[in-house]
Amino acid sequence: MSLFGTGAMSRVVRSGVGRRRVQTVVIALATMMAVASAVVAGSLMVAAAAPFDHAFEKQQGAHITAQLDPAEVSAAQLAATGKPAGVTASSGPYPSTVFRPVDQAGFRLPTLTLVGRSGPDGDVDRVELKSGRWAQKPGEIVLAASFEGPTIGIGATLKASDTMNAPTLSIVGFAVSASRTADSWATPAQVDTLASEGSPLTSQMLYRFDSASTKEQILADRKKLAAAVGSKALLGTQSWLDTKRAADQGAAATVPFVTALGMLGIVMSVIIVCSVISGAVGTSLRRIGILKAIGFTPREVVRAYVAQALVPAGAGIALGVVLGNLLAVPLLSDTEAVHGGVSLSVAWWVDVVVPAAALVIVGLAALIPALRAGRLRTVEAIAVGRSPRTGRGQWAHRAMALLPLPRPVTYGLATPFTHPVRTLAMLLAVAFGTAAATFAVGLTSSLTAVGTSQDPESRAAVTVTTTRPNNAAPPPPPPAGGSVAGTPPVGGSVASRSGLRVADPAKVRSAITSQAGTESYYGKTQAEVAVAGISGSVQASLYEGRSRSGSYEMISGHWITGTGQVVVPTRFLERSSTKIGDTVRVTYEKETANLRIVGESFDTSGSELEIHADMANFASAVPSSFLVEVKSGVLADEYAQKVAAVVQPLGGDAMANAPSGQEGVLLIMSSMAVLLTLMLVFVAGLGVLNSVVLDTRERIHDLGVCKAIGMSPRQTMSLVLASVTAIGVIGGLIGVPAGYALHSLVMPVMGRAVGTSLPSPVLDVYEPVELLLLGLGGVVIAVLGALIPAGWAARARTAMALRTE
């Protein structure tokens, strides 16, 4: 009995793993890649939801934050809006306004939403104090925790604006609002004092609803609110779903493509494990018969062959967990946000559940061919040995012999029909590898297009600025007689502001138009603005002149063509519940303009909103830079040097633009896609290698006969390679459309994860020639996977091959 106990079983398993080294490596690498992808995808999905959800529920966050006009609705009417059916809790009204403070060093902070609250608690949005205390009297302010830094801390002061008599505010605390209902808080009386004509006073109401988990439910709740207060009173709303998406999107964008590659890896692992164990059973019939003859039961044979798969799979799973954690680190670090100090890391249960699930999948994949081994009759297994069944695939040999090709090639083309199941596994491995490569090429091309579209200024050849640091290198001396042509003497019209030399935009514009080589140009400036109904500051890009060449890609509508128009990203439309054709109120400095939304731009700038409008909408706006296109044949560097010589004495500068490249999370995503795809392609090649090794070993006697009658080593290699060429062609024909379809499916999901649709230049990235080359990639995978066993067959000595039975 002891002969067939643990010791005998372990020796059989060790012997099987050691004899089939190629298959062992294939299983280990396939499972490693699948587990690594699954760990990354699982950790990102957990990280994308946990911090915000935990903080939101803890603080009883607001499902809808509403900004209302106090002139159109009374406080009593607002309080009544918290009573209708569907509203589970409400807080407010709180006085609210926007302002742009200046710190002690004289630098202007972004435009902040200021809300008057007597304390951090409430039925909705229980703001969490991270440090300090709450504002108790006028002159005190609490800032969002994200502003805390070396120069902005407890006790520091801010001026409410950059005007001479602006009131001073003392920072007494820093707080976190999971709902992001405000950037700062003060007493209600202080908010009333700071409100001005340029930044009118509004009323803020916070609501929680019993049904607010989908966009449709939020829109329905907003309609109820608008009906209760009147459409004129409701200036705008902010949905908690948009706030959640903004908080989650650092990880959310990576989840779809990592999940897709992970699923490819898992399916490929199952196929390869089944193929390896099935091949092991097919080539070990005599060994199985001997094991049964000496007393091994069918159940023990099944356990032995399942264990031969689980041993290398276990090693691959352990390596995959380590690799997955390493790959997840840069992505998780990019998604860390201030949600009550939550730090993101791979959840411990992901490192437990994924390996356990992988072991179960590998075990089930190995069980089917192992059961075949257990059912084999002892006498039949010993008698058949490892010789292939006679007659299988003979029709294919006869058909291929009719082709006008060398006999070794036709012999190789017919070989796959001898083992249809093994051929199918090899075909699927090649198809999945080609699909992964096609998907990765499209993904990286799309990410490159995203990076390019988000940096439209880089399309211009030269950027000319109206500012220049005071400590910059001095401009070249003017020619004899005073000043550079068309400019005043150095210092003649140069202002100094916050360490910058500021030039007159009109004189910089004149220098550009008078410069030979100028094809076209437009002016641009960026500023913080306030938009009614949107909490916090909004970045505005204001344009002067023909700005179409510097426009963002459009999802719908059109780019700005004049005054009274504004182009906004998808997130703006969703957050403000507006659509193309609606009008929004925008406040820049002390000027307010009603702008009609004419286009939806493609913008992936994160949670910060950016709108685009004509500079003529605001009289006080002036360009801070000019983007210049040069004429054909003019070198950008030389043009920039000539313009710089003119504008530097004015206080401006000019420089040639470098092509934009991928940065930050886009670069990380591209690198990860390439890495995971290379792993998939490598494993696909190993799957081919495994199948060809099994075929070559089974046919070594036949190859010996062929060599004995005159087949050269080169012909032997062509025979083996021909056996996989057709598989590579078919695999490419299947894999390329599959990868194309996967790209078309995953990219829109990635776009929705970051709150935007995708324009056609980001989606339509494949060229016909590129698809043809990717299709040939299936042949490359198959041939590379077969090279090693082909070389081994070519080098095998004829006498040794003939002795092998």
If residue 529 lies in a helix (H) or strand (E), which one and from where to where?
strand 518-531
- Cα separation, 349 vs 327, in Å, equals 17
The mean-pLDDT minimum among 225-229, 254-258, 539-543 falls in 254-258
Helix/strand/coil for 514: coil
For the chain, state the CA radius of gyration: 35
∠ CA(143), CA(127), CA(55), 5° rounding?
A: 115
218: tokens are 């939020």
pLDDT digits (tens, 9 = 90+) for 696-709: 777 766 677 777 77
Residue 204 CA to residue 212 CA, distance in Å, equals 19
Orientation angle between helical segments 215-229 and 240-252, nearest 10 degrees: 150
Euclidean distance between CA atoms 185 and 113, whole angstroms = 8
Supply 366's token pair: 């190995």
Tokens of 222: 């907003």
Q: What is the dihedral of CA 308, 311, 313, 317, to 10 degrees?
A: 170
Q: How confident is the model over 112-163, as pLDDT tens digits?
A: 889 999 888 888 888 888 889 999 988 999 998 878 777 788 888 888 887 7
- What is the arithmetic mean of pLDDT over 65-82? 81
Three-state SS string over 684-736 comes to HHHHHHHHHHHHHHHCHHHHHHHHHCCCCHHHHHHHHHHHHHHHHHHHHHHHH
Return the closest-CA partner of residue 303 out of 240, 371, 257: 371
> Cα separations (Å) of 557 from 167, 185, 759?
43, 38, 12
- Sorted by where each begins, the domain ranges of the chain are 18-63+249-381, 64-211, 391-455+662-805, 459-656
Residue 544, φ and ψ in degrees, nearest 5: -125, 130
pLDDT digits (tens, 9 = 90+) for 559-576: 998 899 999 988 888 778
C-alpha to C-alpha distance for 676 and 34, rounded to whole angstroms: 9
> Would the pTM of this model clear 0.75, i.e. be above it?
no
Residue 491, Ramachandran bin (φ over 0: left; ψ between -120 and 50: alpha; else beta): left
Residue 479 pLDDT grade (very low, low, confident, very high; cuts 50, 70, 90): very low
- 264-309 tens-digit pLDDT: 777 777 777 777 666 666 666 667 777 777 777 878 877 887 888 7
Tens-digit pLDDT profile for residues 163-193: 777 888 999 999 888 888 888 999 998 888 8
- Rounded mean pLDDT of 653-661? 71
Residue percentage of the chain with pLDDT more than 90: 8
Residue burial 572-601, b: 16+ Cβ < 10 Å; e: rest: bbbbbbbeeeeebebbbbeebbebebbbbb
Interacting residues of 440 by C-beta distance below 8 A, sequence separation 6+: 261, 673, 674, 676, 677
